[in-house]
Structure 1
């Protein structure tokens, strides 16, 4: 057994893929009861607050995280392999490979290449619409041209269109600062933004997108 994996009795926080956007956003809590070579056995996941149990079926795809020391969230994707009847009914889920577990430390955020629609407004009130080059939990970059006069240190109010794997989409809003401009020969520039004022819930929308993009459901 390795320190990268959750241990018996560790809590897992689970979301199940669903065509229903609200259902796929519902978080359930479970606990690891047994280890097997290729799988974990877990309790039937329960929704916190309501105590409602999540009915799972073989093949259901799950987004899971567990906490490790220092408040680090460790994410992985898995799916339901089957069930085991003992004193209680347990769910058997696939054990991820070690390189499929992604740590999300508070200070460092995954960045992924992504062409997303970004609407922005300068302090002076001018508005523009651009497409990102990459996004992450700490910032984003986008292509711009001479029609969008930007300078280092400019503050922008931004709205980012964030699409999810289940077909739904959301807007993440934040205030960002231009921290770098990289000019190209064709008159275009790459503007790099750092988030300076973003609520945790808005940041989580972007992190979820990055996580889905990075760890696309494995071809099985």
Structure 2
């Protein structure tokens, strides 16, 4: 399913590596061509500023269906076209690469990412995830960190993307389950309780890239 003319699309420039520039932008489909979309020049959410795009910019895009389902895909800028206003031409994705995300249902992938955590008593430690997804993460840690169901944690996740950029996603999470492992270690499962849509989109984008890697092996 592709977005239609006049549908809103929400964009993050994936090829940028400056965190303060990675803001979600809003645009609209102006025309649909055989192999591309023409979109209006994006506007930054919040500030209302025009977002200048360049040929080759990699974009992480989603649009909403009438039922509220988010459809994500990755694309890039092909060029520009002049109509009444300037339009941006972006590559139309292959239909099978568009991933639908139902509310409360997110893709989860096995991934060993660095994660920093702060417990409610102020204790901080760094470990690695076992899996990540748009709804939460799991990680292993030493049993000296006394974590129990319902505990709240402040977290910072390091996310590497295929284009070589590295990003951080801060969030608050709640422990939903723990499981004792061998050698004095504990597996901890978290669900997000406070995460911005932009930070969640970074995680979903990483999961998509990871899933495509698995499929192509």
TM-score by length of 1: 0.76
Unpaired runs of 5+ residues, structure 1, are: none
User: Are the equivalent residues in 1 in contact too, given 2:133–2:207 (CA < 8 A)?
Assistant: no
User: Are the equivalent residues in 1 in contact too, given 2:140–2:187 (CA < 8 A)?
Assistant: yes
Q: CA RMSD in A?
A: 3.0
Give the drift of 1:22: 2.2
1:130-162 Cα shifts (integer Å, max 9, x gaps):
3221122322211133433555x3524232333
User: Are the equivalent residues in 2 in contact too, given 1:164–1:209 (CA < 8 A)?
Assistant: no
Give 1 or 2 for the bigger CA radius of gyration. Answer: 1
The yes-or-no answer on 1:159 pairing with 2:161 is no
User: What secondary structure, in the 3-state scheme, does the structure 1 residue paired with 2:145 have?
Assistant: coil
Count how many residue pairs are aligned between Structure 1 and Structure 2: 208
2:129 to 129, 132, 138: 132
Q: Distance in 2 between matches of 1:45 and 1:183?
A: 48
Give the drift of 1:179: 1.5
2:33 to 17, 32, 36: 36
Q: Distance in 2 between matches of 1:155 and 1:60?
A: 41
- Change in 2 beyond 3 A, CA 1:169/1:149: same
Q: Which residue of 2 aligns with 1:69?
A: 66
TM-score by length of 2: 0.77
Kindly report which structure 2 residues correspond to 1:42-121, keeping only aligned pairs within 5 A, or say none. Answer: 42-48=39-45, 51-112=48-109, 113-121=111-119
Give the drift of 1:95: 0.3
